[in-house]
Amino acid sequence: MTAFHELLADEQIEAAFPLMRQLRPHLSAATFLSAVRAQQAEGYRLFGGEVDSSLVVLAGVRETRTLLRGLHLFVDDLVTLQSSQGRGHGKAMLQFMVDHAQSRGLERIYLDSRDTALGFYEKLGFQSQTSVTCWIKVATGFRLSPPEH
């Protein structure tokens, strides 16, 4: 049985770094705590799930409101320890997030998915949408003319 709780103490957040790094390999141990704290100032919450006092699953979420989606819970990060995958920890964490969202009066949960995880989310009842995340490096700016072939 997985026991869930919010990671609040510095030591808890720092201990979550190796697991989060499985999902976000660009992160640095030296800046992880400060990065989480900066996000927490904007409403981010980091939850952990443990089995026998060992962290096996993490979820980073935020309650947010957009014109398109209204008030909802957004799952920024969801990762299960590689050696513990396939044992229901991710599903249990998402159920914990459903319960959390319901307790906050939120009607929907949204997340972005990698192609490799889409089947997992769809099996749980998530509906995929057709939007594609796009980004640009601000310092680079736009291309004002089409690329040359």
pTM assigned to the model: 0.87
Is the per-residue pLDDT at 61 higher than 70?
Answer: yes
Q: For 81-146, list the strands marked E by DSSP.
A: 109-111
Mean pLDDT of 93-100: 96
**Structural domains in the chain?**
3-123 (3.40.630.30)
Weakest mean pLDDT among 30-34, 80-84, 128-132, 145-149: 145-149
Rounded to 10 degrees, the C-alpha dihedral 12/52/88/125 comes to -40
Give the H/E segment covering residue 23.
helix 17-23
CB crowding 17-43: b at 16 or more within 10 Å, else e:
bebbeeeeeeeeeeebeeebeebeeee
Residue 114: HSE in the Cβ half-sphere, 13 Å Cα cutoff: 7
Is the per-residue pLDDT at 118 higher than 70?
Answer: yes
Is the per-residue pLDDT at 86 higher than 90?
Answer: yes
Is the per-residue pLDDT at 9 higher than 90?
Answer: yes
Amino acid identity at 126: F
